[in-house]
């Protein structure tokens, strides 16, 4: 079945860039997503990219998609302490059915 894999942990210094990586298996996914989960909260959609794009930029966020390698990344510029959270990569298996990775815990330190 479909599978989404992510590294589990990333630690960065405040002000640096963070890059969170993800690999997925379903080449037919029309959209790929990044969700953010803060402690004790539900997931919140951060950004998404359509599969015919290779890059999407939204303020401090840059999403890169390499369809050939089935690789998705999320870059957060000027990372702040408020960015500390778990970031989930997800692919869409069928109509609104998302397959999530295990999540990457981002820790931002001064």
Q: Which residues bind other proteins (CB under 8 A)?
A: 4, 8, 30-31, 33, 40-45, 48, 88, 90, 92, 95-98, 100-103
Beta bridge mates, 73: 21, 64
d(CA 89, CA 22): 6
CA geometry: angle 45, 89, 101, nearest 5 deg: 125
d(CA 81, CA 102): 22
Q: How far is the CB of 34 from other proteins (least distance, A)?
A: 11
Q: How far is the CB of 62 from other proteins (least distance, A)?
A: 19
81's tokens: 């302490």
Q: How far is the CB of 42 from other proteins (least distance, A)?
A: 3
Closest to other proteins by CB, 76 or 103? 103
How many C-beta atoms lie closer than 10 Å to residue 32's C-beta?
Answer: 25
Closest to other proteins by CB, 39 or 82? 39
Q: How far is the CB of 14 from other proteins (least distance, A)?
A: 25
Closest to other proteins by CB, 13 or 53? 53
Beta bridge mates, 104: 87
Closest to other proteins by CB, 4 or 108? 4
């Amino acid at each position: 079945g479909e599978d989404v894999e992510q590294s589990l942990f990333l630690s960065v210094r405040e002000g640096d860039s963070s890059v969170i990586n993800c690999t997925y298996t379903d080449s037919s996914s029309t959209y790929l997503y990044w969700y953010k989960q803060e402690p004790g909260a539900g997931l919140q959609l951060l950004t998404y990219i359509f599969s015919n794009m290779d890059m999407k930029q939204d303020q401090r966020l840059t999403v890169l998609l390499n369809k050939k390698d089935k690789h998705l990344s999320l870059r957060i510029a000027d990372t702040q302490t408020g960015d500390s959270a778990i970031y989930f990569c997800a692919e869409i298996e069928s109509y609104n059915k998302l397959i999530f990775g295990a999540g990457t815990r981002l820790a931002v330190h001064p």
